[in-house]
Structure 1
C-alpha cells in the first residue's frame, strides 16, 4: 500500500516536471536569441571621405548663407528707400492739394467777377492811373498764375515718378524676399544633411573625425608657414584695427549661427562686420561684398585687423590677429575660435581702414 502511494506520488512528480520542462516561455526551454553584431568601425579612409563630404555640405551652406545675408542687406536698404519715397509722396500730395486750392480760389474769383479777373476790369476803367496800376497788376498776376500752374504740373510729375519708383522698389523687395527664402531653404537642407551624416558616426568616430579636421587644418597651416610667407609680414595694427580685434576676440566661445550678427552668436561675416562696426568703420555685411568692395592688399603686406577672404567663391572670412593666426566663426556646430590663417584656401586680403 505504501509502495503504491509512493508510486502515485512519483508519477505526479514526473508529470509536473514534464509540464515545467515543456511550458512555453520557460527561461531554459530554448537557447538565448543571438545578439546583434555591432557595426564595424569605419576605416580612416572612409572616415576621411565622411569628413570631406561634411566639409562640402557646410561650404555649400556657407555660400547660401552669404546669399541670404546679401538679400537681407538689400531688403533693409530697399525698405529705407521705400519709407523715404512714401514720405516724399505724402509731402507731394499735400503740396498738390495746396496748389489745387489756390487754383480753385482763382477760378472762383474770376467767376464772381463776371468772367473777368479784377485786373482786367481795372483796364476798362476811365482813370489812366487806375489803368496803369491795373496793367502792372495783370502782369504780376499772369506771372504768379503761370508759376503756380508750372509748379502744379511739376508736383504732379514728381508724384508720378515717386509712385513709379516706389512700385519698382516694391518689386525688388519682393524679389529679394523670394531669394532670401530660397537661400534659407538651401541652408537648412545642407546643414540638415551634414548633421545627419555626422549623426551616423559613433562617439569614438566623431572624436576621430574632429581630430582629422584638426590634423588637416594643421597640415595646411604648416605648409603655409613653411613657405616663408610670415617672414615678410610685420605690419602693425591701426588704432581702429586694435578695436576691431578686441571686439572679435571677446566673442570667442560663442556659437556659429547662420545669418547671426550677435550678440550671442555669429556667422563668419557677421563677426567681422560687427567687429569693424564696433571700431567705428562700417563695412559690407557679407564676405563676398567685403571682397568686392574693400581695398585689396598683398598677403605679405597684411597687418592685424585685416580680413582674410577664403575659398575661390569668397564664401568665408576671418580677421588676421598677427603671428599667422585668425579669429573666425567656422561653421554650424562650432564656436568662434582662433586658428591658423593658412588652414584654409586663401583667396586674398582686404583692409577695412585703408
Structure 2
C-alpha cells in the first residue's frame, strides 16, 4: 500500500471535542478550498471503519462457506454409503426375483401338502418357505428404504451445492467491497502532503491519549488487578508472541492477522474454539462488565461490533489494529468501547499469576503503518 498510513487503529474515534481544535493551541486553518486536518482525520477514520465492517462481513461469509463445505463433504460421504447400500439391496432383490421365477409352481401350498408323501416334511418345508418369504419382504423393505434415503441425501447434497455457490458469490462481493474501501484509504493518503500526514499523526495520538485518560478516570475499569483463567493466560501469551506481525484482512495467522483472526486464534491455541468474527464473538460469547475484566477477555469496539482486541490488564489490550499496521499493545480506549465478552466464564482465575513481559517495541512504532514508496 503506497503512502504512509497514519497512526491509529481500525477506525479510531474519540469525542468530537478531541477532533475539533479548540481556541488554545488550535491547528492552523487550511487555505480556502482545502479540508482541515481534523476533517481529514474524521474522513480517514470513516474510511477505515467502513473497511473494517467490510472485512468482518467477508470473514463471516468465509466462515459460513467453510462450514457449508464441511457439511457438503459429510453429505457426500453419506450419499456414497447410501448408494452403495442401495446397490447391494438391488442386487439382493434381483437374486430373489430370479429364485422366485425358477421355483414358480401352479400348485397351491395346500395341494402340495395333500399330495406330499411325507406331510410332516412338507410342513417343515413350509416353515422354511415362510421364513424365506419373510426374508424377501425384508429385502424389499430395505430396498425401498435405501432408495428413499439416497433420494433424500441427493436432494440435500444438491441444496448444499447451491448454497455453497451462493456463498462463494457473496464472498467475492465482500472481498471486492474490502478492496474498494482500502483503495479509498490509499487514495486519500496519497493525496496528503508530508505536513498533513505529520499533523494527522499528532492529532490522532493526542486524541487517543485524551480518550484513554478519560476512560481510566471514569472508573469503568476496576483498580484491582485480576488474574486470568489458565486458558486466558495462554491466550494472552499467544497474542503477545504475535506482536510485530502485519495486519492483513481475512488473515488468521500464522504470519499475519486481522483483528478477530488474532483473538480467535489466541483462544484456539488456548484450547477453546470461539467464533471467527468480532460480531459473532460479541453476539454469542457471555458478556462481562468492564469493571470485572480479566486478562484474556475480549474487548469489542464500535456500535456494530466491528473490531475486537484481547485484554492484557492495566488498561491495555493487544490487537491487530488495521491495514498497514502491525499487531501491538494499545490503550484500551484507542477505539470507542462497546463492551467485553469472556470465552470461559466458568473457569476460575489462576493463582500466583504474573503478567508476561511485553516484547520490545510492543507499545510504540509498530502502529504507524508502512511506506512502500
TM-score past 0.5 threshold: yes
Match of 2:173 in 1: 182
Matched, 1:274 2:262: no
- 1:199 is aligned to 190
The answer to whether the 8 Å contact 1:310/1:346 transfers is yes
Deviation at 1:349, TM superposition (A): 0.7
Please name the residue that 2:146 is paired with: 155
Paired residue secondary structure (1:126): coil
| Structure 1 residues 299 and 129, CA gap change in structure 2 (3 angstroms) | same
Q: Paired residue for 1:83?
A: 73
The separation in 2 between residues aligned to 1:120 and 1:88, in whole angstroms, is: 47
Q: What pairs with 1:279-294 in structure 2 (closer than 5 Å)?
A: 279-294=270-285
Instruction: Give the Å deviation of 1:218.
Output: 1.4
| Partners of 2:86 and 2:150 within 8 A in 1 | no
Q: Does 1:250 align with 2:241?
A: yes
SS at match of 2:222: helix
Q: Secondary structure at the match of 1:139?
A: helix
Residue 220 of structure 2 corresponds to which residue in structure 1?
A: 229
Residue number in structure 2 paired with 1:316: 307
1:105 to 84, 92, 95: 95
Partner of 1:137: 128
How far did 1:148 drift?
A: 1.1
The answer as to 2:48 corresponding to 1:58 is yes
- Deviation for aligned residue 1:120: 9.2
Kept in 2, the 8 Å contact 1:276–1:283? The answer is yes
Counterpart CA distance in 2 for 1:125 and 1:64 is: 86
Partner of 1:212: 203
Larger RCO (alpha carbons 8 Å, 6+ apart): 2
Task: Tell me what 1:170 maps to.
Answer: 161
SS state at 2:36 partner: helix
TM score, norm. by length of structure 1: 0.84
2:338 partner SS: strand
Work out the number of aligned pairs and report it.
315
Instruction: Tell me, yes or no, if structure 1 residue 240 matches structure 2 residue 235.
Output: no
**In structure 2, distance between residues paired with 1:276 and 1:61:** 25
Q: Which has the higher helix share?
A: 1
**Equivalent pair of 1:249/1:327 in contact (CA under 8 Å):** yes
- Answer yes or no: is 1:72 the counterpart of 2:77: no
Cα deviation, residue 121, structure 1: 9.6
Q: Is the 8 A contact 2:221 2:290 kept in 1?
A: no
Q: C-alpha distance in 2, partners of 1:106/1:71? A: 51
Task: Find out whether 1:296 has 2:287 as its counterpart.
Answer: yes
Is the Cα–Cα contact under 8 Å of residues 297 and 340 in structure 2 kept in the other structure?
yes
User: For the aligned residues, what is the CA RMSD?
Assistant: 2.2
CA distance in 2, matches of 1:277, 1:108: 59
CA contact (8 A) 1:122 1:134 kept: no
**Residue pair 2:93, 2:143 contacting (<8 A) in 1 also:** no
| 1:235, distance to aligned residue in structure 2 (A) | 2.3
Distance 1:140 1:218, change over 3 A: same
Q: Is the partner of 1:229 in helix, strand or coil? A: coil
Kept in 2, the 8 Å contact 1:58–1:194? The answer is yes
C-alpha contact (below 8 Å) 1:233/1:302 kept by paired residues: no
| Bigger Rg over Cα | 1
CA contact (8 A) 1:120 1:138 kept: no
**Hey, what does 2:353 align to over in structure 1?**
none
Could you say if the C-alpha distance between residues 217 and 121 of structure 1 is closer, same or farther in structure 2, counting changes exceeding 3 Å?
farther
- Tell me how far apart the structure 2 counterparts of residues 121 and 263 of structure 1 sit (CA, whole Å): 82
Unaligned runs of 5+ in 1: 1-39
